[in-house]
Amino acid sequence: MDEKTTYAVVDIETTGGNVQSGDRIIQFGCVLIENDQIVHQFATDVNPLRNIPKEIEHLTGISNKTVATAPYFEDVAATIFNLLEGCVFVAHNIQFDYSFLSEEMVRCGLPPLTLKGIDTVELAQILFPTEPSFTLNDLMNARGIVHTNPHQADSDAYATAELFLLMKQKLLELPLVTVEKITSIAAHCTMDTQFFFQTNLAEMKDNIAELPEQLMIKKGLALRKKNVSFEQKNHRERFDYPYTSDKKAALFTPHFELRDTQIRMMDTIQETLTGEKTEHIAIEAPTGIGKTFGYLFPAVFHASSEKPIVVSTYTTLLQQQLFYKDIVQLQKIIPFPIQAAMLKGKSHYIHLSKFDSLLQKPVTQKLEAIYQMKVLVWLTQTETGDLDELNLTSYDQPFWNKVRHRGWLGNETEDEWYEEDFYLHAKKLVQHAGIIVTNHAYLCHDLQKEDKTLSNFTSLIVDEAHHLSEVAQSSTSQVFRYYYLQKMGKRLGKKDDKSSLIGQLTDLLDKPTQSITQQVENIEMSVYFLMDTLSQLVDELLQFCAEAELNEEFRKDRYDIPYDREKDGLLFKKTSKQVIQLMNEVCFQGFEVVHALLKERERFTQTELHLITDFYDCLTDLENQKDIFITVFQNPNEQEVTWFSYTEKSPKNSFTAQQSYVTNDQFLKERLITKVPTIIYTGATLEVDGSFDYFQKQIGETALKTLKLNSPYDYEKQVRFWIPKEVTPIKSMTKKRYAQMIVRYLSSICRNSQENMLVLFTSYEPLHEVYAELQKKPEFFGREILAQGLSGSRERILKRFFRSQGGILLGADSFWEGVDLPGKSLSVIVVTRLPFESPDRPFVKAKHYWMKKNHLNPFYVDTLPKATLRLKQGLGRLVRSETDKGVFIVLDERLVHSNFGKQMQRSLPNGVRIEEIAENQMEEELRKFLIDEI
């Protein structure tokens, strides 16, 4: 760091975000850094001469009383101005601190700030590319540094200073070529953040370090070498499965606890994998028995590259957890190397050749510049090239489409980065693996392909198996998205737009023949007419939907309108035919251009070949959408249901047409169940009312062996399950009264209690209404209230909730399961109504109609079992260890006063006793159970 430079690391706390609206600073903190050392600290409270909002007091701990005797900002402004003069201003999210402080200086009669500024949020995004969160507290926790008083200006400033010094050290450890490339792009960073890279690059050039052995450089790009060794020996011959409990305990102790139910699961799976006959088994393994080790432990004794065992789980997040956490932990106790690999689609991997080509082009957008710098650092760390390692909440930005892997048009060996290609490396790992870890979506998509990646396996373990049917339904659905087609049309573009594919191809056409130029011009016209006709069709479809909306009882945020092709198809026949014809024209002419260009491929540079590949990929996507369009609008099938969806706010851009199979049991039966000799299904919620029949029918099994393992938890002692005596039947209430009732019960539960509470909803509308009501109630001031869809990503919400005291989390959908919050982080769950899916949804409506035609009762065959499993999943969030205690409250009297409610009760874990309790007793009983008895 420049010896002459002083860095002023600043943090401020304020009453709000706008000086012009009367918001003021309530605390100022500053740390000075010189020669890589913290040399001075300054902090002061500030009296804002206005009330501090309750939410700010809760966040910062700074109250009106705290600042009552503090100086006004007018009194300290000159001191702060002089302190900062000549320094480089550093802050975490600098645009807020710098602009707010500058405006306050002007208000007090001082000049605005004109300092150089560096943003540590951007630095962290670049230098710590795999972090899931860039809040100051999360970054410090990830580095093992104690941040004593988050949201206090003095503590935040000091923590930011420590982070700043850490990031300098991190930068200096990077290869010189990486830092040079980052510095050349960093002009796009916020304010003068580039200055950080420039000064440190100069320091690195004065003392050039050797390239670390684990790195390599190719074409000016630094990469981590892939360190992989393939085990050739067959360990099953040398290491037999330990059948006795003592032998298992000898391996597990002292690393892990071994439970009797877990041993039973292991031995059952060992027996299944050893058997020579075809056998499919479902094992319900309740939370807490160690399910993952329960199936992985016997699996690794059988798995080999000749006979791999495929393990499929619900999401890519769970897939990563299984691979990077569970298998790594299991390796500690297994006396031989576990050869495991992760299997994902190629689009999960970065294509080095495309990224290299992109680096040769000038950067025009700030976000793309940040992503490029982030990837440059990540490439020095990753051995997989799996973009999921970057933990982004969305990969929808154009940059990721430019660099993600789509395969090759020609011979892959012609790729300059063939030897280093991450996707090919992943495929090689899979070929040598004994355990192949995938996810349900990949598995179901692979089942539909002619050229299957998973073709030679005979054993499959399906974790989170209750999701397999719904994922199969999703993977076989056809979805036509108007917005996606709009983006595709814009990407194809026109000759005058040099950022579009057609515009760039036109510049390329001075090399080939005139006939190709004419074809590109024809494609340009066809694209124009296609987008115009498609827009007209969507307008017609929305008019049709608007007429159907008249039957709706009330306005909604999102609409799902059923479409009967036989009855309504003639309305759109002419326009839909025109759309298909134009799509055919674009695809046919486009592919002809690609083939013509590839005949002269030796004339083109690698970057130009990537342009042709991008054009081909876009045409392929258009052709896929064309096939979906034809399926949705022209191919009737009584086993399928079609509906249109859109939001009220943006009906046209959000418009989709979707077609799904009513049932997917035949798909799974034909493609999976009859093909794989050994399948082990497992999950915490497979059984309903003492039977696996519902699960078996959902996936198309007919002779499934089953095993239900007992829970290790004592639910009678650890759980209280309450139904309020006075709870009003939901159907008798308006939406507003329903939301008010929920808030009233939450108030009763929270009174004089600081327990964390999860409130589960079956839809977003009441969730949002309750969230708005809670914000107005004084009894909830000071509590952190988090809501799905309003408070950030799921991971961020859970992290904040885990750290809060007295927090309230309002969740739907995914929050009913997969939430692991042990101990004090979750003590109370409130279910706002029994989790029945809406019978008005087009897919549900069509499925139930089909069931009735087949003389089945939809409620008892489908709706009730599904809701019962959902309720079990919700209860499973409450108790995550033998020492946990919790209260589960259901605000729906149907659970105790209906026949189906009694059936749902029979599926709850042994020991759960449902009590009806008066609302005015809740506070005292909750305190007695959760606090007094500890």
Sign of CA dihedral 216, 221, 222, 226: negative
Helices 245-252 and 260-274 cross at an angle (nearest 10°) of 110
Helix H or strand E segment including 560? strand 558-563
Residues paired with residue 739 on neighbouring β-strands, in sequence order? none
Question: Does the annotation flag 286 for ligand binding?
Answer: yes
Say if CB 673 and CB 704 are below 8 A apart.
no
- What are the residues whose beta carbons fall under 8 Å from the beta carbon of 249, sequence distance 6 or more? 258
- Shortest CA distance to 581 belongs to which of 647, 626, 639? 626
Structure tokens at 719: 């759980």
Question: Does the annotation flag 334 for ligand binding?
Answer: no
Structure tokens at 222: 């630094």
Question: Does the annotation flag 285 for ligand binding?
Answer: yes
Structure tokens at 682: 């497992």
Beta pairing, strands 719-724 & 886-890: parallel
Residues paired with residue 661 on neighbouring β-strands, in sequence order? 640
Q: What 3 state SS string does 737-753 have?
A: HHHHHHHHHHHHHHCCC
- What are the residues whose beta carbons fall under 8 Å from the beta carbon of 765, sequence distance 6 or more? 556, 557, 735
Tokens 């930005």 map to which residue? 397
Question: Does the annotation flag 287 for ligand binding?
Answer: yes
CA distance 287 to 279: 25
CA distance 721 to 755: 16
Provide DSSP, 554-584: S--SEEEEEE-HHHHGGGGHHHHHHHHHHHH
Provide the 10 A C-beta neighbour count for residue 200.
21
Structure tokens at 19: 């000086």
- Shortest CA distance to 321 belongs to which of 820, 826, 873, 879? 820
- Shortest CA distance to 672 belongs to which of 862, 459, 466? 459
Structure tokens at 842: 């087009």
Say if CB 113 and CB 102 are below 8 A apart.
yes
Radius of gyration of the chain (CA): 31
Tokens 């999360």 map to which residue? 138
- Shortest CA distance to 660 belongs to which of 842, 488, 858, 440? 842
Q: Is 11 helix (H, G, I), strand (E, B) or coil?
A: strand
- Shortest CA distance to 894 belongs to which of 867, 856, 862, 922? 867
Question: Does the annotation flag 313 for ligand binding?
Answer: no
Structure tokens at 359: 């680096």
Q: Is 719 helix (H, G, I), strand (E, B) or coil?
A: strand
Q: What 3 state SS string does 203-262 have?
A: HHHHCCCCCCCCEEEECCEEEECCCCCCCCCCHHHHCCCCCCHHHHHHHHCCCCCCCHHH
Q: How far is CA 297 from CA 47, 266, 294, 328, 436, in A?
A: 62, 7, 6, 12, 14
Strand ranges inside 253-329, DSSP E: 279-284, 309-313
Say if CB 803 and CB 784 are below 8 A apart.
no
Structure tokens at 407: 């395969």
Question: Does the annotation flag 290 for ligand binding?
Answer: yes
Q: What is the DSSP letter of 727?
A: P
Annotated binding site for ATP: 285-292
Annotated binding site: 285-292
